[in-house]
């Protein structure tokens, strides 16, 4: 099978399309023919080992100290179950599924094996493989931090910094689903997009700063990584919370003692994946796809994501639907 291989950390040039052996599922695993995958900011940070201060060594220990331990890149995928192990009970051949391989990687390939207990669920026929995979990174991240951590609720004022990215577009929609009043921060070319998915207000960061507008918010969600508690403190309500999607080790430790500061790693679960599909079915959530790349142009997709100006998700088309 064809797969995107990487044998070193570095620029997108470390990613090479190669022919590798097709995996075979163990007793508790399913073999999935991949139709679509993604290139996320997380994939790019991992490829370059460009991680927040204090997390370089833990990242290298987890993924490979001197070179990547897992030779195939990518975490997210959608596709069709081709073969199941003898102990598998939740899936059968022909099931349409989407899920994440997480730290095991291997999703940027024509086939991937995953345990049936991992974050993997069936998708309905009316949701395309591309749309399914496109909701995953942003959706899982926004759902974890807004619903599970910040406990967003009706009537709250939510500010989303980086509202046009994959996490940002998901955060706007999830906050609106829970009845919040949402303000999105993005540049002028992306105003129409962010308003179309539900934002009530827009702030153009090239023209004004939210810290100077006199408004306070119950939740400030920073998807970009350029905000701090000291900067945001006066823009938070008395019980307001700053949620940092990207935070260094010092800030992460501070969040243990500062109850108005939330950061960490998003949870990935079957429940969350099914919840997102339910939002799509209800019309409360729409996938936002910036661009499509074939598998053989994974490196090019990384270069694009590295620029930091995408709107929504970048999807790799592995197999035509």
For residue 179, the tally of other CB atoms under 10 A from its CB is 11
Question: How far is it, in rounded angstroms, from Cα 166 to Cα 185?
Answer: 14
pLDDT digits (tens, 9 = 90+) for 110-128: 999 999 999 999 999 999 9
Superfamily of domain 137-263, CATH level 4: NAD(P)-binding Rossmann-like Domain (3.40.50.720)
Domain ranges of the chain: 2-122+288-317, 137-263
- The pair of structure tokens assigned to 202 is 């827009």
Give the model's pLDDT for residue 320.
87
Q: Are 2-122+288-317 and 137-263 in the same CATH fold? A: no
Task: Please state, rounded to an integer, the average pLDDT across all residues of the chain.
Answer: 97
Phi, psi of 229 (to 5 degrees): -65, -35
* 96 three-state secondary structure: strand
Sign of CA dihedral 187, 200, 159, 143: negative
pTM: 0.95
Give the model's pLDDT for residue 151.
98
Residue 292's Cβ-count burial label (10 Å; 0-12, 13-18, 19+) is middle
pLDDT digits (tens, 9 = 90+) for 286-301: 999 999 999 999 999 9
DSSP structural state of residue 199 = -
Nearest to 108 by CA among 298, 320, 314, 290: 298
E strand or H helix at 34: strand 29-39
Nearest to 258 by CA among 240, 237, 231: 240
Q: Which fold has domain 2-122+288-317?
A: Quinone Oxidoreductase; Chain A, domain 1 (3.90.180)
User: What whole-number percentage of the chain has pLDDT above 70?
Assistant: 100
DSSP structural state of residue 114 = E
E strand or H helix at 43: helix 41-48
Sequence-ordered strand ranges (E) for 41-110:
76-84, 96-100
- The pair of structure tokens assigned to 20 is 């590798």
Yes or no: say if 182 and 175 are a contact pair by the CB < 8 Å rule. yes
Yes or no: say if 102 and 75 are a contact pair by the CB < 8 Å rule. yes
Yes or no: say if 133 and 38 are a contact pair by the CB < 8 Å rule. yes
Nearest to 183 by CA among 166, 211, 161: 161
Residues ≥6 apart with Cβ < 8 Å to 59: 46, 49, 51
Yes or no: say if 123 and 79 are a contact pair by the CB < 8 Å rule. no
Residue 321's pLDDT band (cuts 50, 70, 90):
confident
């Amino acid at each position: 099978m064809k797969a995107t291989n990487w044998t070193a950390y570095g620029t997108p040039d470390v990613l090479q399309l190669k022919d590798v052996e097709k995996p075979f599922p163990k007793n508790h695993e399913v073999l999935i023919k991949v139709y679509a995958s993604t290139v996320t900011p997380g994939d790019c940070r991992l490829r370059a080992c460009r991680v927040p201060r204090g997390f370089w060594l833990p990242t290298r220990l987890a993924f490979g100290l001197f070179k990547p331990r897992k030779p195939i890149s990518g975490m997210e995928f959608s596709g069709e179950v081709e073969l199941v192990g003898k102990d598998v009970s939740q899936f059968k051949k022909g099931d349409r599924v989407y899920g994440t391989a997480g730290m095991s990687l291997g999703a940027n390939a024509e086939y991937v094996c995953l345990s049936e207990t991992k974050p993997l669920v069936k998708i309905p026929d009316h949701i395309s493989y591309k749309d399914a995979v496109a909701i995953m990174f942003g959706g899982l991240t926004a759902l974890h931090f807004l619903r599970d951590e910040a406990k967003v609720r009706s009537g709250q004022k939510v500010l989303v910094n980086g509202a046009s990215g994959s996490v940002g577009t998901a955060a706007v929609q999830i906050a609106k689903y829970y009845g919040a009043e949402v303000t999105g921060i993005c540049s002028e070319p992306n105003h129409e997009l962010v308003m179309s998915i539900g934002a009530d207000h827009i702030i153009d960061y090239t023209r004004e700063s939210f810290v100077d507008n006199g408004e306070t918010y119950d939740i400030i969600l920073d998807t970009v990584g350029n905000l701090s508690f000291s900067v945001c403190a006066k823009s938070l309500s008395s019980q307001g919370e700053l949620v940092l999607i990207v935070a260094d080790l010092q800030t992460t430790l501070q969040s243990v003692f500062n109850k108005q500061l939330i950061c960490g790693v998003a949870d990935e679960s079957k429940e969350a994946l099914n919840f997102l599909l339910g939002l799509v079915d209800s019309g409360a959530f729409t996938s936002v796809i910036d661009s499509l790349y074939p598998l053989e142009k994974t490196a090019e997709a990384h270069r694009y994501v590295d620029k930091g100006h995408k709107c929504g998700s970048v999807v790799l088309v592995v197999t035509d639907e």
